[in-house]
Amino acid sequence: MATTTPEHDKRVADLTFSSVYPHYVTKVEKKGRTVEELHTVIEWLTGFNETTLNTLIEEKVTFKTFFERAKLNANAHLIKGVICGYRIEDITTPLTKQARYLDKLIDELARGRKMEKILRS
C-alpha cells in the first residue's frame, strides 16, 4: 500500500464535511442502515452529537476544521485495515488518518457489521 502524498493530504484537509456527508447517508441507507446509526458512529469517533453535526454542516467546515474540533475517541487507534486504497495503520498524516478512520467506520456500517464491533467496545 502506498503512503499518502502531500497533495492527497491537502485534498482531504480542504474537503468540506457538508459535501461528503450526503454520500455517507446514501451509502448506509442503500445498505439498509439508518441515519441514526450513522450519527452514532460519527459521535463515537468525534464526540459530535446530531446538533453539533448539523452546525458543522451549516458552517461548511473543512475536514481540517472538523477534526480540529473533534475529541477523537480513545479507541480510534483500534480502527485498522484498508480504505480508499490506503492501509490506515501506514498513514502518517494525522488528519488524513482521522478522515480514513471515519471512512472505515462508515464502510463497516454499510457492510452490515454489528454496531458493537464498529464501535470497538
Give the C-alpha separation, 91 to 2, whole Å: 9
CATH of residue 32's domain is 1.10.8.290
Q: How much is the mean pLDDT over the chain? A: 95
Domain-embedded: residue 33: yes
Domain-embedded: residue 43: yes
Percent of the chain with pLDDT over 70: 98
More confident of the two residues 11 and 85? 11
Whether residue 102 contacts residue 21, with contact meaning beta carbons closer than 8 Å, is answered with: no
What pLDDT, in 10s, does the model give residues 54-101?
Answer: 999 999 999 999 999 999 999 999 999 999 888 999 999 999 999 999
Give the C-alpha separation, 43 to 49, whole Å: 6
Domain-embedded: residue 41: yes
* Sign of the CA dihedral running 49, 100, 27, 75: negative
Domain-embedded: residue 1: no
Domain-embedded: residue 11: yes
Domain-embedded: residue 97: yes
Work out the angle at residue 79's Cα, subtended by the Cα atoms of residues 43 and 93, and round it to the nearest 5 degrees: 90
pTM for the model stands at: 0.93
Nearby residues of 106 by Cβ (< 8 Å), 6 or more positions away: 24, 27, 28, 38, 41
The answer to whether residue 1 scores a pLDDT higher than 60 is no
Question: How many domains does the chain fold into?
Answer: 1
DSSP at 95: H
For residue 64, what are the domain limits?
Answer: 6-118
Residue 120's region, left for phi above 0, alpha for psi from -120 to 50, else beta, is left
